[in-house]
Amino acid sequence: MANGELMLSHIDIVKAVITHQDIHEGCWCLNINFNVSATHGGQVPDPCVALSITGIGIMRADRNNPMAVDASVFNPAPPPKAVPIQATNGTRVPLNGSLGSTKIHFGPAAYRSVAVQSAAADRDK
């Protein structure tokens, strides 16, 4: 970048906006809005055209458009996070079954229903 200039293709601009806006689906292409007006120049008596860019962005496009970028291919959505389940004693247990450094302690509360059921079964005999 010796001349202080960085040139990007239209595809690079669309990819940058898709990433920046966190878009994960659909096909997108570059959209440039122009303002065109006819005028007379100050130094030249002939008519001239004044052209200005009023906006640059992206818009949805057909999948068949050769200038379109598919956001689901370029910027796929991250996989959903595993939601831990709640153990009976209040400890959070990950879905994959690995506890890591977390230990589950089964105190008297965990066995209370077992003891009650056993005592009731003994009374009924």
Residue ranges per structural domain of the chain:
10-74, 85-124
Q: Give pLDDT, residue 2.
A: 60
Helix (H) or strand (E) holding 70: strand 69-70
Comparing CA positions, the residue from 104, 65, 68 lying closest to residue 84 is: 104
Which one-letter DSSP state was computed for residue 96?
Answer: T
109-123 tens-digit pLDDT: 555 555 445 555 555
Q: Give pLDDT, residue 107.
A: 58
Residues whose CB is less than 8 angstroms from the CB of residue 35 and which lie 6 or more positions away in sequence, other chains included:
51, 52, 53, 54
Q: Give pLDDT, residue 115.
A: 47
44: phi then psi, degrees, rounded to nearest 5? -120, 130
Q: Give pLDDT, residue 9.
A: 93
Dist CA 16 CA 57 (whole Å):
11
Q: Give pLDDT, residue 121.
A: 54
Contact 62, 68 (CB under 8 A): yes
Per-residue pLDDT tens digits of the chain, which is 125 residues long? 467 888 999 999 999 999 999 999 999 999 999 999 988 877 777 888 889 999 999 999 999 999 999 999 999 988 887 765 555 666 555 555 555 555 555 555 555 555 445 555 555 55
Residues whose CB is less than 8 angstroms from the CB of residue 79 and which lie 6 or more positions away in sequence, other chains included:
none
